[in-house]
Amino acid sequence: MEIPSLDELISKFQEAGLTYLEIKNGENQITLKKEIKIAAPITNEQESVTDKKTIPEKSKKITINAPFVGTFYTSPSPQEDTFVKIGDKIQKGQVIGIIEAMKMMTEVKSEVTGTITEILVTNESTVEYNTPLIVLKN
């Protein structure tokens, strides 16, 4: 297998929208990894969290949405417990699930701290971009 130049490989990696790629050729190995940042959460009033003027000071509901299209998994494997469950207090950066796209597994991490009030998708559900996955209150 011929490995293209690094510039060409990075360009194709970005064009394909990949988040992780590992190529091994004998003793040579190239790994490309792209951190996924979830867009700003949406409140139940469908307003941007960054618009502080319209958000009440009391506890607000926040939705964590799918960052891309794929199959959503609630646990790392069928034999393991789910990443989160209703009532769990989660921290910013905590893994709440995995989305598989094009045979690649990508962790979905929370961008906020809060308590889970609803889990809106089941294990192995197909999700579209921006599909609400979990509802939190903070």
- Cα–Cα distances in angstroms (integers) from residue 68 to residues 9, 22, 26, 60, 80, in the given order: 22, 20, 33, 25, 24
Q: What CATH number belongs to 42-137?
A: 2.40.50.100
Numbered ranges of CATH 2.40.50.100 in the chain: 42-137
CB 64 within 8 A of CB 110: yes
- The string of DSSP codes covering 38-99 is PPPPEETT--BTT-GGGS-SS--EEEEE-SSSEEEESSSSTTSPPS--TT-EE-TT-EEEEE
pTM score over 0.75? no
CB 41 within 8 A of CB 49: yes
Each residue's pLDDT expressed in tens, for the chain with a length of 138 residues:
556 676 777 777 677 777 777 777 777 777 777 665 555 455 444 444 444 444 445 668 899 999 999 999 999 988 999 999 999 999 999 999 999 998 899 999 999 999 999 999 999 999 999 999 999 998
